[in-house]
Structure 1
Amino acid sequence: MPVSPALAEDLAAAVTMLYEDAELALIEILRRALAEGIDSPRWAELKLRSIGDLRNAVETVTAALQTDANGAVARALAEAYGRGRQAAVAELGALNIGRELQARRVLPGAPAVDRLAASYAEDTRPLYARITRAVLDVFRGVTSRAAGAQLLTGQSRRDASQRALNEFARRGVTGFIDRAGRSWELASYAEMSVRSVTARAAIEGHIDALGEIGAALVIVSDAPLECPLCRPWEGEILSLQGPPGPHTVRLDHAIQPTGLFAARRTVAVHVAGSLPEARAAGLFHPNCRHSLGLYLPGVTTRPPHHATPGTGYEDTQRQRAIERQIRAWKRRAAAAMDEDARRYAGAYVRRWQARARENVAAHPEVRRQPQREQIGRAR
């Protein structure tokens, strides 16, 4: 069967939960650190003295997260790569080459898996130092401003602490800049990274398997609700290792006539470019809906084009934005220092959930995914 990033989505979700759990743990650590002794006249002094304990608690969480995430990602990559290979076996199941591929039983510790695991570990290494810095910055900021705020504005240190916690819960641990210059918060950056790397593993397992039996061409599906990055490659034929750019090649027909005097058949194939070229341009980005299948000259037909209804892609992105708001308000509820703050956050959770239902009702091509509205282990 064809391979797509969706083949490894469940693996990415399991790893992403580690980061969400860590973020909730950090919110709880910060909430407790600020709440302890909050009515004492020596609160600010006590907070400054306890900053070492806070640092140790945060570093314990980040060290465990780094170990658990790297291990989970390595296992997920091996599984994703294996699924990609099995997709190739299933795709070629009716052919002798498919049975040959199955018989090879390549071990999951392929060089591609090791390379992707090392790449992920290197890309996410800066996350962990940033986590400690972000939590301590919030803590120092609250304790240094609380006394002055009380004198100048009448705002209590509890209110000042709650406001800082609310902002921290809303934004998460921010400051991660990707190669395109975009800023991310911890859980979203981790999810993007994990989805990307597991999808790459599944695709590489598939194309490695196809390469082993001499396949040279693949074809991209035509998916509804495509994004502008993928649209140019829909339904197009790509070479696994050929030159970039569009070109036409003449190849043997995949099914040759038999018989002593049978003439050899060839077909002209228009190739839109190479697979590495298409991936570099954005094909198979995280959350991509496209799949990739083997192209057999003269046999494989181009997929039918699915017209995207209205502004379908924009509608799905609006749903993703609503999901982020729901998760942000759930984090804020977790950061509440009293019942009033918790109820206030809960009301906004319900308000954004209503918007999610309205967006789905107004756009039939958009599906609601409740698991994307959850945080931590409930997801």
Structure 2
Amino acid sequence: MPVSPAMAEDLAAAITMLYEDAELALITKLREALAEGIDSPRWAEIKLRSIGDLRQAVETVARALQRDANGRVAEALATAYGRGRQAAVAELGALDIGRELHARRVLPNAPAVDRLAASYADDTRPLYQRITRAVLDVFRGVSSRAAGTQLLTGITRREASQRALDEFARRGVTGFVDSAGRPWEMAAYAEMAVRSVTARAAIEGHIDAMAEVGQGLVIVSDAPLECPLCAQWEGEVLSLQGPPGPRTVRTEHAVQPSGLRGLLRPPETVAVHIAGSLPEARAAGLFHPNCRHSLSLYLPGVTTRPPHHATPGTSYADTQRQRAIERHIRRWKRAQAAAIDDVARRKAAAKVREWQAAARAHVAAHEHIDRKSAREQIGRAR
């Protein structure tokens, strides 16, 4: 069976919930810390004295998140890698090498799994280092400005606190910049990183298994609503190893005559156009997060190009609009969690309903787009 990033989506979703739960916990702790004694004339003084307690609470959340996420990722990578191997076994089942591959036992701590787990831990380490500073910066900022806020601007400390909480709920833990220079907030980056690394584990398991039995060519599926990064690779044959760049080679036909006829005739060969190597295609964007494409074994002379999937009336931009609507829904649900009073809570709830209506309208207008309610949830409900 083909292998694709979708094979590991459920594993990534379960881990992403850890980050969303942590983000909700941080919002709740910050809200409670600011709201406690908010009507007291000594509120600012009390807040500055209680910063140590908040720091301790936030650091506890950060340590638990790092420990749990790294452990869950290691388990997920082993599972995804195993799924990729089993996909290769299923594809090769009609050949003798399929039975050979099935008989092999590969430990879940394969080198590829260990390498991916270490890479994930390194990539996400800055997130945990940023958490405490991000929360305390908001707390200090509101507390230090509270004394003069109402006199200078007419804004009460309750209003100032709610504004700061709303902004924190909207942006999350920010300040992390990836290797490409793009800024991220914690939950969004963690989701991207988890989905990428688990998808990669499934693909690594698949191609490692095929390489073990001498199969070196794969073909990319034709997926509906493809993005520009992937379009150039659709329906193309890729080599698992070898030089980058397109080339045409002659190779043995996958099905050769058997018996005496096969012994008397030289092996039949066919011309195969190879668009490039799999590492080259992945470096150019194939199998990015949310990629819809899959890989399957290419048998020279047997495998044909996949049919093109037309999606009239729907474009890749329409799918990205759906992702944007989902982010707005999650943003306002976080704002509900950050609400100090019922007024702010009702305002956030109204915004949630507004964007949920936008989601329904968008799906109704595009028959090739399905609504995924799980992507509109935050925390354990997801």
Which category describes the TM-score, using the shorter chain as reference length? over 0.9
Q: 2:337 maps to what in 1? A: 334
Q: How far did residue 216 of structure 1 move?
A: 1.0
In the alignment, what sits opposite 2:284? 281
User: C-alpha distance in 2, partners of 1:341/1:284?
Assistant: 41
Runs of 4+ in structure 1 deviating by more than 6 angstroms, as ranges, are none
* CA distance in 1 between partners of 2:150 and 2:181 (Å): 39
Distance in 2 (CA, whole Å) between partners of 1:274 and 1:238 is: 5
8 Å contact from structure 1 (residues 176, 186) kept in 2: yes
Could you tell me which residue of structure 1 aligns to residue 37 of structure 2? 37
In the other structure, the counterpart of 1:228 is 228
Report whether the alignment pairs 1:343 with 2:367: no
Please state if 1:320 is matched with 2:323. Answer: yes
Match of 2:126 in 1: 126
Q: Kindly indicate whether the alpha-carbon contact (under 8 Å) linking 2:314 and 2:366 is maintained by their aligned counterparts in 1.
A: no
Deviation at 1:261, TM superposition (A): 2.6
Structure 2 counterpart of 1:94: 94
Once the two structures are superposed, residues 136-185 of structure 1 have per-residue CA deviations (whole angstroms, 9 ceiling, x without a partner) of 01001111112211111221111110110011111111122122222111
Q: Structure 1 residue 309: deviation in Å?
A: 2.8
Q: Hey, what does 1:301 align to over in structure 2? A: 304
Shift of 1:129: 1.1
Q: Are the counterparts in 2 of residues 226 and 308 from structure 1 also a CA contact under 8 Å?
A: no
Q: Secondary structure at the match of 1:306?
A: coil
What is the deviation of 1:56? 0.5
Separation in structure 2 between the aligned mates of residue 169 and residue 322 of structure 1, nearest angstrom: 16
Number of equivalenced pairs: 379
Alignment of 1:1-379 (within 5 A): 1-258=1-258, 259=261, 260-379=263-382
What is the letter of the counterpart of residue 139 of structure 1? Answer: F
What SS class does the counterpart of residue 163 from structure 1 fall into?
Answer: helix
Judge conservation of contact 1:4–1:202 (CA < 8 Å) in 2: yes
Q: Is the 8 A contact 1:222 1:235 kept in 2?
A: yes
Shift of 1:273: 0.4
CA distance in 1, matches of 2:266, 2:116: 46
Query: What is the SS of the residue equivalent to 2:250?
Result: strand
Q: Structure 1, residues 322-369: CA drift from partner, whole Å, max 9, x if none? A: 000000000000011111111110000000000000000111111100
Distance 1:125 1:343 in 2: 36
Cα deviation code 1:101-144 (max 9, x no counterpart) = 01002111100000000000000000011111110010011111
The DSSP-based 3-state class of the residue aligned with 1:305 is: coil
Q: Distance in 1 between matches of 2:358 and 2:95?
A: 50
Q: Secondary structure at the match of 1:161?
A: helix
Cα distance in 2 for residues equivalent to 1:142 and 1:75: 41
Equivalent residues of 1:221, 1:235 under 8 A apart? yes
List gaps (5 residues or longer) in structure 2.
none
Contact 2:256 2:268 (8 Å CA) reproduced: yes
| Residues 210-265 of structure 1: per-residue CA shift (max 9 Å, x gap) | 00000111100010100000011000000001110000000000001122433421
Aligned counterparts of 1:360 and 1:180: Cα–Cα separation in 2 = 33
Partners of 1:310 and 1:134 lie apart in 2 by 43
**In angstroms, what is the RMSD of aligned CA positions?**
0.9
| Alpha-carbon distance in structure 2 between the residues aligned to 1:277 and 1:361 | 38
8 Å Cα contact 1:267/1:297 also seen in 2? yes
**Alpha carbons 1:15, 1:72 under 8 Å: kept:** yes
> 1 CA distance for matches of 2:54 and 2:133?
11
Identical counterparts, % of pairs: 80
Structure 1 counterpart of 2:220, which letter? V
Q: Is the 8 A contact 2:81 2:113 kept in 1?
A: yes
Q: Is the Cα–Cα contact under 8 Å of residues 311 and 368 in structure 2 kept in the other structure?
A: no
Q: CA deviation at 1:311?
A: 4.8
Structure 2 Cα separation of the partners of residues 236 and 282 of structure 1: 15
Structure 1, unaligned stretches of length 5 or more?
none
SS at match of 2:232: helix
In 1: Cα distance, 2:297 partner to 2:45 partner: 67
Q: Distance in 2 between matches of 1:337 and 1:179?
A: 37
TM normalised by structure 1 equals 0.99
